[in-house]
Amino acid sequence: SQQGEEDPQALSIQEGENATMNCSYKTSINNLQWYRQNSGRGLVHLILIRSNEREKHSGRLRVTLDTSKKSSSLLITASRAADTASYFCATEGSNYQLIWGAGTKLIIKP
């Protein structure tokens, strides 16, 4: 089941620019996760942010979480062609499940 929305649905930027994707969710969470999916491949976990954290970094990735607004953002700095992929946020549901956002398709133009 899908809990939230991601925006934009698609994003096309020039290589070297920063890319920002947003995710909103509906219920209280313990953590929120971001995944990347390259075309025709499985999903790869990028970063997990806990509900008591506001910001987390991993290399060129920066994730923020605002629990009062029930929203999160993923920032990719200095984008590269290899960052072209779909990006999904996910929150934990009951019984070890993840509830997925609809995804943002990111295209990095050379």
Partner 1 sequence: DAMVIQNPRYQVTQFGKPVTLSCSQTLNHNVMYWYQQKSSQAPKLLFHYYDKDFNNEADTPDNFQSRRPNTSFCFLDIRSPGLGDAAMYLCATSTQDRQPQHFGDGTRLSIL
| Contacting residues toward partner 1, per CB under 8 A | 1-2, 30-31, 33, 40-45, 48, 86, 88, 92, 95-98, 100-103, 105
Q: How far is the CB of 73 from partner 1 (least distance, A)?
A: 18
Q: How far is the CB of 87 from partner 1 (least distance, A)?
A: 11
CB-based contact 45:33 (threshold 8 Å): yes
Q: How far is the CB of 64 from partner 1 (least distance, A)?
A: 18
